[in-house]
Amino acid sequence: MEKAHFKDQDKRKSFFKMGFFYLFVFVLGCAVGSGNTLAGAENRERTAVQLPYTRTEGRKEEFYEFEAYKNLPYPSSYPNHYYDAFLFPKDKRKEALGTIIYVHGGGFVSGTKDIVQDNPYFLKWLRSGFQVISVDYALAPDYPYPTALYQLSYCLQKLFEEKESLGINTKKLIFVADSAGASLAGQFILTQVSKSYSKKLDIPSFVSKKGGKICAFISLSGLLDCTRYHKTGLAENDKTFLSWGRQYFQELSFYNGKKAEQTKLENYLTKDFPPTFLSDGNVGTFRDQAIDFKERCVELGIPVVSYFPDSSLPHDYELHMDSQEAEESLEKQIRFVKFLLS
């Protein structure tokens, strides 16, 4: 009996060993699959394997006196490949002064296009005559640089395909972006106005070829140079931003790397960059980057307007419409764009 007992024990040991072995193989397979997915981002999704949609697509809602079309998909095999369109009623869309393309912030690791829904900042743009497109994209660390940038390009290409059905004017595009979104928007714009930058990032230049025009770039507390992502002057923010930068670029010392250098927008500016509006606070944010960007714009003859209030204002203050400075910044942005389009 004792012998049989030990034999059963051996069987059980063998069974558990095999179980752990297959579990290890499964986990390893998942890790390898994940690695291939990330590598696919750098191959610009040349194999379009579509993920199953997890949202109700193309949902129409009433939004004050406007119409909101939620979760419209654009082609991408990565998550969050949706945009929202806040439009005038169909019989009034031709009256729109232009189209706002909003790219949300969140440090590349968080944030969502849904911010437009409940923020009076965007309602003010709508009531000032502009339709609004809010773009979502995949987030780090699961989807690091440059996945989100490629997705932004895919979304814009989709908008050009759908411009008639949406009723948007692609000849009057205005990019509005906050924080990390400004990095993505700025890089995308550069791929459209600079052949060398387009080639460097392997992102096609198509806006002008399709008869479109980017009329303005509005940067709100914009991250315009990721090599200085972790240098805001506020220790708490610097620690957080350092961590987020490492997740986005997948490099411990990303600030010294080639990937982050590609986001130092002032180094790649050309005279063809669109007129720019820069706004920022002065507590734990990127005002120094905006000032340097502005100086480079002036050197190149790019029309640029800035609003840097003296008040103590945090990062992204512009989207919190409970301060006089935020309201004033928005008024200046709208006047700036209307002047350009007049």
Per residue in 296-316, pLDDT tens?
999 999 999 999 999 999 999
Angle at the Cα of 140 (from 139 to 142), degrees rounded to 5? 100
pLDDT mean across residues, the chain: 88
**How is residue 151 written in tokens?**
């997705």
Fold of 59-341: Rossmann fold (3.40.50)
Share of the chain above pLDDT 90, in %: 82
Task: Using the structure block, give the residue that is written with the tokens 């129409």.
Answer: 60
Average pLDDT over residues 73-100: 97
For the chain, the domains span 1-42, 59-341
What pLDDT does 57 receive? 72
Task: Using the structure block, give the residue that is written with the tokens 């010392």.
Answer: 253
Q: What is the pTM of this model?
A: 0.85
Give the gyration radius of the chain's Cα atoms: 23
What pLDDT does 58 receive? 78
- Let me know: does 110 contact 183? Beta carbons within 8 Å: no
- Let me know: does 67 contact 87? Beta carbons within 8 Å: yes
What pLDDT does 56 receive? 53
* pLDDT beyond 80 at 90: yes
What pLDDT does 55 receive? 52
- Let me know: does 172 contact 210? Beta carbons within 8 Å: no
* pLDDT beyond 90 at 156: yes
Environment class of 266 (CB within 10 Å of its CB; exposed 0-12, middle 13-18, buried 19+):
middle
Share of the chain above pLDDT 70, in %: 84
- Count of H-run helices and E-run strands, the chain: 10, 9
Give bridge partners of residue 62 from the DSSP assignment.
67
* pLDDT beyond 50 at 201: yes
Instruction: Give the model confidence (pLDDT) of 17-65 as tens digits.
Output: 444 433 333 333 333 333 322 323 334 343 233 333 445 577 899 999 9
Residue 161 CB: number of other CB atoms within 10 A?
Answer: 13
By C-alpha distance, which of 61, 49, 149 is closest to 103?
149
